[in-house]
Amino acid sequence: MSEVKNKFGKIQTVEQAMEHIKDGMTIMVAGFCGVGSSYRLIQEIIKKGVKDLTLISIDAGDPGVGPEDIIKNEQVKKLISSHIGATPRTGELLNEGKLEVEFVPQGILAERIRAGGCGIPGFLTDVGLGTMVEEGKPKVTLNGKEYLLETALHADVAILRAEKADEFGNLIYNKTARGVNPLMARAADLTIVDAKEVVALGDIDPEDVVTPGAFVDSIVRGGGEWTWAWE
C-alpha cells in the first residue's frame, strides 16, 4: 500500500471540515436507520450549534442514531424525508409546530436527489396522485395521463460515510451502507466524507470506485468513533 500524502489537499481534520457548516444551510445527511450515516460528523454539527438547518435525509434515523440527534437538538427548521416513525421526538417537534416536515415517497426522494445532481430541474411521476403528496404540486397531462411535477433537490453540503476513500476522494461503501450516498455526493455544492480508511491514489481499483473523487471536497479520516457492528 502506498503512502498517503494528501497532495490534493482534501484530507482535513474534523474541525476544518466543520468550518464549511453554517447557520441556515441545506444539508443532506446520508444513511438509512443510521446505516451509512456518519455519527462522528453528526455529533460535530451538534457541537458546533448551527441552527435553522434544512435537512434532507431518507429517514429521521433511529433514536440516538443518524440525523435524529440533530433534529431533537432543535437545530433543524425543516426536514425533507420519507418517514419519521422510528423517532418519537421528531413527531413531537412536528406536532408542537417547532419542525416543518415535507414527506416524500422514498423512491421519489431518491430520484429528486439524483435529479439535483444531474442538473435536471424536475420530472413527472404518477406516484402520490390522489394523496397528500400532491398538495401544492403542479400537474401535467401527457398523452392523456396526469402526472405530478416533482422538483429536484440540491444542498449546500452533503455529509457521507464511506468504507474507504483515496486521497483524491474516490469512494467505496460497505454493502447496503451505500444507500443514497452516491446520489447525495453529486447533489451538493460541497461534499464531506467520513472515511473509515484513507489510502493513496491508485490503491483502490478503478473498477471498485462508486463515487468519483470529483464529487468529494473534504475527507475526514475515520478512527475509533461509534459504528454499526455490521459496518
Does 141 reside within a domain? Answer: no
Q: What is the pTM assigned to this prediction?
A: 0.91
Does 18 reside within a domain? Answer: yes
The answer to whether 193 and 169 are in contact (CB under 8 A) is yes
CATH number of the domain that 76 lies in?
Answer: 3.40.1080.10
Does 136 reside within a domain? Answer: no
Question: Each residue of 115-128: pLDDT tens digit?
Answer: 999 999 999 999 98
The 10 Å Cβ neighbour count of residue 62 is: 16
Does 129 reside within a domain? Answer: no
pLDDT at 133: 84
pLDDT at 72: 93
Please give the residue range of the domain that contains residue 202.
Answer: 11-122+151-221
Does 138 reside within a domain? Answer: no
Does 65 reside within a domain? Answer: yes
DSSP secondary structure letter of residue 62: B
Question: Each residue of 167-185: pLDDT tens digit?
Answer: 999 999 999 999 999 999 9
Q: What grid cell was written down for 28?
A: 443532506
Does 206 reside within a domain? Answer: yes
The total of structural domains in the chain comes to 1
| Of 175, 223, 218, the residue nearest 32 (C-alpha) | 175
What value does the CA radius of gyration of the chain take, rounded to a whole number of Å?
Answer: 18
pLDDT band with cut points at 50, 70 and 90 for residue 66: confident
Question: Each residue of 191-205: pLDDT tens digit?
Answer: 999 999 999 999 999
